[in-house]
Structures are given as C-alpha cells and as structure tokens.
Structure 1
Amino acid sequence: MNIKVVSAIALLCLVWGSLWGLVKHSLSIFPPFLFVSMRLILAALTLMIVQAVLRKSILPNQGDWKALIISSLMICFGFYATQVFAMQFVDSGLSAVLVFTMPIFIGVLAHYFLNERLNSQKIMGLILGTLGLVAILWPQLQHIHVNVALIGQFFLILSGFFWALTTIYMKKNFATYDKMKLTIWQLLLGGSVILIGALVFEPINLSVWTNPLNSSILFYIAVIGTGFAFVLWNWIVSQVDTFVASISIMCIPILSLFFGYVLWHEPLTVNILIGAAFICSGIIFSSLKIKAQSRSAEQKSLS
C-alpha cells in the first residue's frame, strides 16, 4: 500500500474509533431512526455542497439509478438502521467489535464474487476471528435464551454482514465511479426512506434537536463520521484488495473499547478482551502474511 492509502486508513481509524461512543450517547437523546435518517441525509447534503463547490457532477446518469438504489438500501437499511437499532441494547465498544467481524464475511464473499482467492493465511485469519466472536458471545451461548442483549448482538453481526455485502457490490459495480457522488446517493436515497418511516412512528421534540450540544454531536457524527469517512472508505476499497482494506481498519474496535471504557465507563469483561484479542490476532496474522506474499510476488516479477 502506498503512503496515501496508509494515511487514509490511519485517519479513518481515528474518526471511526471515536464515533461509537458518541453514537451510543446520541441514542439516549434522539429517537433512533430519526437520528439515523438525519445523520445520513445531513451527510449526503454536505457532500453535495462540496461536490457543487468542486464543480463536479452531482446527478447520476440514467443507467446508474438501479445499482445506486440497491447499494443504498443495503448500506442504509442493512448496515445503518440495523446497527442503530441494536446499539440501543449493546455497549458501544462491544458493538464495534461485533460489527467489525465484517472481514470474516468480506473474505468469503470476495472469494466467490471478486475472484480474490481465499488462501491458507486468510482462512486462518477467519478462523481466529470466528473464535473471537464465540468468546464474546460465550456467556449468552452457555445459557441461550432470547433477550434484548442477545438480539442486539445478532443484529450487530447482521449489520457487519450487510456492510461486507455492500462493499463487495460497490467494488463490483462502482470501481471507477466518482466516490463522492456514490456516497451522496448511497446515503441520501436510503436515508430519505428511513426518515419517512421515522416521522410516522417516532415522536419529534424540537428542543432536543435545537440544543447546541446535541446539534454539535449530530454534526460531527453526520458530516465527519459518516459523509467524510464513507467517502474515504469507498476510496480505500477502490485502491486495494477488499480483504486487505477490511483488515486494515481492525484497530477501530480496539479504539472503541478503549474510548467506551474511559469516556463512557462501559465494562471490559474478560470474554470481551479475549474475543477482541482473537479477532485482532486473526487480522494481524492475515495482514502480515498478505504483505509477505506481496513482497514475494514483487521479487518474482523483478527476477
């Protein structure tokens, strides 16, 4: 990876690592689906203004709409709406760990749909990640019964799956597409549909939305943590192997666990720490092997 990609990954990790606790806090203030719809729409409108200032095209071509709608529904409903529903019942650090099982799904999906082959190193990384997931869920697995925490954890894993699925779909259909335009319509289309449903079923308290502190938090989450960050993510995925991109941002759940513990006083149980260690070990193992393979391939090409 070149310095631009590495710098983009480092910046993305910092932004997304700081985001989970703020999202969890916001769910105690705002109605969940009004919050996520406003987050998506505000992010899209801000990017639209930037795109206009840069004098770049905003409206998609007629033939782009179908793929954009599919991509938007997957990311807005499958990822964002599912995630915000589940985070009402699960701590922010644990939520990040479960959503960032996304590389497990990426590895399998990319193998079948992008011809990014699963080698032994990737498979071992996926096994370690799965063991980490089992460790995190172990207290629930010992006494399986339906409760809101277990349902929330299931939906967070489902959210990670939809993120992986959207990433594969985007890589396959939008590899050379303007990444800012792509992000605008991914967020705006699905966000508008969620807003319609939220206005019907959720209460509106204007004093909550006009509070300066609340507005500042929403602005950061929407503009920086969603709009800017997803443009960055879409660009990173277009530059490197999707599995490499996904494992490269796996320090985010560790940062989220740290921020959740320090800022929001969320507990760090032994099974969460063990699970996080397994997941990160799988990521590091895969990453180091992939880099080694890349160097080997470069040496062969030079010989």
Structure 2
Amino acid sequence: MASREILLFLLLCAIWGTTWIAMKFGIETVPPLLFAGTRFLAAGLVLAALLALRRSLVVPAIADIPRLLAVSLLVMTTCYGLLFWGVQYVSSGLAAVLEMSLTPVALLAFALMLGDERFSRRRAAAIVLGVAGIVILFAPAATTEGSSLAGLAAVSGAALVYGWGAVLSRPLMARYSSLWLACVTMVTGGALLLGISLLVEPRAPAMLQTAWPAPAIGGWLFLVLFGSLLGYTIYLHLLRVWGSSRSGSYAFVSSVVAVAAGHLVFGEDVSRTQVAGMAVLLAAAWFAIRPDRERAGCEVGGTASGVEACLSGQTSR
C-alpha cells in the first residue's frame, strides 16, 4: 500500500469532512445553486490558468467529448443541483445518512455493472460495515421531522448519479491528467449550474451584483481553494490509482471528521453511541482501503497507462 496515497486519502477526508461547515455558512444567505455553480466555475478557471502557465492545456479527442460532457453533467451539475436543492427539505442528519452511505454503495455498484472492477467480498463487507457505522452515527439526527419525499429522493439521486459519473470518468484518466479532467468537469458543470441558478433562483441575479456576507465569502473561498481545487484533484488521483470503491470509502472517514468539526465549531454534543459509530466507520475505512492481493500490482508506479492496462487485464479474466 503506497504511503503517499494513504496520506492523500487522509487529507481528502479531512477536507471533505469540513466542507459541510463551509456550505452551511454559505447557503444561509446565498441561493444554493448559485453558491455551488460559482464555486466550481471559479475553481475550474483557476485550474485552467494554471494549466495554461504549464502549457498543459490540451484539446480533447472528439470521441471523448460525449463522455466528458456526461461526466460533467452527472458529477457536477446533476449531483450538486439535486443535493443542494434536496437539503432544503431534508433534515441535516438524514441527508448525511443518505449521501454518505449511498455514495460508496453507488460507486461499487456502477463499477461492477460497467466492468471497472471485479467483485471483492472483503470490499463489499467493508461498505456494508461503513453504512452500518453511518446509520449508528447519525441515527438520532435522522429521526427528526421536516423531511419530504421529494427531498429524500433528490439527496438519494445525488449520490447515485455521482457514483455513475465517477465510474464513467475512469477511462478518461488513461488519456488525460487529473488536473485537466478536474478543470474541464468543473468549468462545464459549474457553468451549467450557474445558468440553471439564474433561471430558477429569483435572488441569483441580484446576488451576483451585491457583496456577500463575510461568512458566505469565507465558506466560498474554503470550498474553492480546498474543497474543489485541492480535494477534487486528490480524489481524481485516487480514483485513477485505487479504483472507484476504494476511493469512495472517503465517506466513512469524512463522516467522523464532520462530527468532530461540528463539535469543535458549533459545540454539538457527541454521544457514546456516536463514538461507537465512528469506531465502526474507521474500521470499515481501514478494510476498504487495504488493497486486494490481485490488485496490488496496479498501484506500483501509479502511471495512467500502467493502471489502465492492469485493470483491463483483470476485468477481462
């Protein structure tokens, strides 16, 4: 197991576990789709400038454009559009249960259906254990009232389309860098989200022309710099090297980080039951990120061509 990837995985968990706080600060005063769309569009444009300075901007092959558009639409526009809309009608605890538990399940399910990974009983068991830990962790909050069927469907749908899009992006990683892929998907998906916001959110046009409150600006900057530029790029790298289901186990550790951050920032209580749930989640993450013996060779070197060739050889058996 490469120590570099483990460190990147832990960094990703820390970043994405604290983005919930930044999002909470933002959507209290800024329309949610506007907040998400400007976040991704800004991050993508920063990456485009960086790639231009490094002379690494490339024109995609015509055959790859439909897949690039599909990945951008699924992972960015549809996922975050559904998630931010649904959170308005679902209690925060139940939203966390649905999003964090369904994402690893969706990643594994689509990876198996699309032939990206082979079935692993240990990894499947780790995901079941992780889902159980999430339910234990968020069970008290999930029983609160104020959730609508439409909101539940939106949050659940966000996790499903995210898993589909993430697995669809895997073949692109054999031909393009993680930074380039992050740039294209964030610019495309963010621009679509911004356009939808201007059409369906009445306050969006005015908010683009006025100064945002300081907490919203702070949350937005955190999401752009850390959640998108750093976090999403790390995730694409792990997706390339580790595969869909192992990378998706970030949700287990991020759940623990989110609870700890809520306790430190908002003074939220942490019960013994939640501590037990966090222990189960950490155990599940450990089992999930450990490489299968037959896949260990795919991580040596970590080059796109080598990983793709190894994965292709395994899925063809």
How far apart are the structure 2 equivalents of 1:248 and 1:201?
32
Which residue pairs with 2:192 in the alignment?
Answer: 193
What SS is found at the alignment partner of 1:148?
A: coil
Aligned residues: 295
Which residue pairs with 1:174 in the alignment?
Answer: 173
Aligned-residue sequence identity (percent) comes to 20
Q: Deviations 1:215-246 (Å, cap 9, x if unpaired)?
A: 33312212321132111111111112322222
Which residue pairs with 1:62 in the alignment?
Answer: 62
Q: Deviations 1:79-104 (Å, cap 9, x if unpaired)?
A: 21122223335566764554232222
The code of the aligned residue for 1:80 comes to Y
CA contact (8 A) 1:12 1:229 kept: yes
Which residue pairs with 1:300 in the alignment?
Answer: none
How far apart are the structure 2 equivalents of 1:262 and 1:87?
23
Question: Which one of 207, 229, 236 corresponds to residue 234 of structure 1?
Answer: 236
Which residue pairs with 2:126 in the alignment?
Answer: 125
Tell me whether 1:257 sits opposite 2:289 in the alignment. Answer: no
Which residue pairs with 1:217 in the alignment?
Answer: 219
**Shift, 1:68, TM fit:** 0.9
Q: Deviations 1:51-93 (Å, cap 9, x if unpaired)?
A: 1111211543333321111000001233211222233355667
The code of the aligned residue for 1:239 comes to V
TM-score (norm 1): 0.81
Tell me whether 1:165 sits opposite 2:167 in the alignment. Answer: no
CA contact (8 A) 1:129 1:279 kept: yes
Greater CA deviation, 96-105 or 161-170? 96-105
What SS is found at the alignment partner of 1:114?
A: coil
Question: Which one of 266, 282, 285 corresponds to residue 284 of structure 2?
Answer: 282
RMSD: 3.4
- Structure 1 unmatched runs, 5+: 298-303
What SS is found at the alignment partner of 1:251?
A: helix
How far apart are the structure 2 equivalents of 1:223 and 1:281?
30
Tell me whether 1:23 sits opposite 2:20 in the alignment. Answer: no
CA contact (8 A) 1:21 1:92 kept: no
How far apart are the structure 1 equivalents of 2:152 and 2:16?
19
- Structure 2 unmatched runs, 5+: 299-317
The code of the aligned residue for 1:24 comes to K
The code of the aligned residue for 1:255 comes to V
How far apart are the structure 1 equivalents of 2:215 and 2:59?
34
